[in-house]
Every structure is written in structure tokens, then in C-alpha cells.
A = this chain, B = another copy of it.
Amino acid sequence: MSPTTARKRLTREESRAQTRERLVETAQQLFVSNGYGGASIRDIADKAGYSQGAFYSNFSSKEDVLLELLRRHMEAEATQLFSVMGNEQQEPGQMLAELEAWASTLNHDADWCMLSIELQLHANRSRSFAAEYRKVWDRHRSELGGVIGQLFGKLGRTPPAAPDELAAAFMALSHGLALQRISTRPDPSGRLIMVFLRGLIAGAEDLGTAAAAPAGTPARAPTKRAPKAGR
């Protein structure tokens, strides 16, 4: 930057950005491992290698850094989903494959999931944060809902619930599973859970092939449609 020395230490702006970045990352780690309430600014700053004052010259409050994490989370998720919904001409089989690929990424970053939960928990407790969170959440749900709607449409099927509801349920499922990284316990949430259950039943293969469909089988030979779905 400087005319005389080509490689200077760091621009002021760069330096600030670096500090901010390190603080954000450290904050994420600690929020995930200790919870929002359990992570102190002292700890964040220390672990990031700065003073508490440095934290406050980059963020106006503890909640502020959570908001920054929320923004980043949103962006990253939008990007992820974009590859799935980007191309409207995709065949259903292709969409399913991409959705599966996308879903499997979530498998691999428990931190990412726990952060989601912390964001949600804090939204449940802070009025102001809830407002910001709502925006992100609504947008993401409707994007995912759109993808789901498209998928069902291309398959010539009626979704068993509003696509947005299904989207929310999938998000819920992912959050709940993240919570189980160490322990867990259940309390299913009614209707949507039954919808899923019925779907699973319908989708299950007959033991005998498709033989008897004993008594109550939802009578929709899933094995046949599977190939259609391109799997």
C-alpha cells in the first residue's frame, strides 16, 4: 500500500478486520461450547488474544457479536441453498441428490448446528434480537419451503403439509439432532411428527416384496415410485 514499502504490516482497516474476525470466531466457539450466557466477554477476548476493551471497540455489546454471527450464518445458509434452488430446470432426481448432498454437509459441522440453537434460544429471550432473528428465519424457511415445493411439484405429488411447514420441520429436525451430540430426550411435536411418520410408513418397502400389504398399508407401492424419483 505505502509507496515506499511494498509489503507493509497491515493497513489499519485490515488490522481492525483481523481483530474483529478473530473475536467473532472465538465468540462462536465459546457460544457453541458454553452457550451464549455461559461465554463471558472476558473469555472471548482472552482466548482471541485481545483485551476486553478491544472487544468493545469492535462490538457494542455481547449481543452485538451474536448479531454478527447471525448475519454470517444467514449468508452462509443462503449460499448453501442457492446451489439447490438455483436451477429451476433441474430434474427431480438431481434436486434430490443435491438436497441430500446439502443435508449431509450439516452432518459434519456440529458447531454450526449448535450455533443455530444458541441463536434461537437467545431470540426466545431477547426482544430486540428476536426481531433480527425473525427476518433471517423467515427468509430461510421460505427459501427452503420453495425448494421443497418445487420438488413435490416436479414429482407430481401433493406435499403432505404446506412447504413452509415442512421446511420448518426439517430445520427443527436438524436442530434437535444437533442437540443430541452428547445426550438427549424426546418430546415430539404433534401433527407434523405424525405427518412424517405416515410418510415414512408409506415409503417403507414391503417385507415380502410388495406382497400382502397387510391390513393397513397406505397402499401406495413406494418401490415403484422410487425409480421415478431417480434414486
Identical copies in the complex: 4
Cβ-defined contact, B189 with A103, below 8 A: yes
Q: Does A181 contact B (CB under 8 A)?
A: yes
Q: Which of B141, B184, B203 contacts A229 (CB 8 A)?
A: B203
Measured between beta carbons, the chain B residues less than 8 angstroms from A182 are 120, 123-124, 130
Cβ-defined contact, B176 with A34, below 8 A: no
**A181-223: which have CB < 8 Å to B?**
181-220, 222-223
- In the bound assembly, the distance between CA atoms of A203 and B226 in angstroms comes to 6
Q: How large is the interface on A (under 10, 10 to 19, 20 to 34, 35 or more residues)?
A: 35 or more
- In the bound assembly, the distance between CA atoms of A195 and B205 in angstroms comes to 13
Q: Does A26 contact B (CB under 8 A)?
A: no
Measured between beta carbons, the chain B residues less than 8 angstroms from A180 are 120, 168, 171-172
**A70-91: which have CB < 8 Å to B?**
73-74, 77, 91
Q: Does A136 contact B (CB under 8 A)?
A: yes
Cβ-defined contact, A222 with B193, below 8 A: no
- In the bound assembly, the distance between CA atoms of A35 and B191 in angstroms comes to 26
Q: Does A112 contact B (CB under 8 A)?
A: yes
Measured between beta carbons, the chain B residues less than 8 angstroms from A106 are 187-190
Q: A215-B149, A216-B228 are in contact. Are A173 and B158 (CB under 8 A)?
A: no
Cβ-defined contact, A125 with B216, below 8 A: no
- In the bound assembly, the distance between CA atoms of A174 and B141 in angstroms comes to 17
Q: Does A54 contact B (CB under 8 A)?
A: no
Measured between beta carbons, the chain B residues less than 8 angstroms from A229 are 198, 201-203, 215-219
Q: A180-B120, A202-B199 are in contact. Are A125 and B189 (CB under 8 A)?
A: no
Q: A residues within 8 Å of B by Cβ?
A: 33-35, 37-38, 73-74, 77, 91-93, 96, 99-100, 102-107, 109, 112-113, 116-117, 119-121, 123-125, 130, 133-134, 136-137, 140-141, 144, 149, 151-220, 222-223, 225-226, 228-231
24 A-B pairs with C-beta separation under 8 A: A93-B215, A100-B194, A116-B187, A120-B179, A120-B182, A124-B182, A155-B201, A155-B215, A157-B205, A157-B206, A157-B207, A162-B217, A162-B218, A169-B177, A171-B176, A171-B180, A172-B173, A174-B176, A174-B187, A196-B199, A198-B219, A199-B200, A201-B225, A203-B220
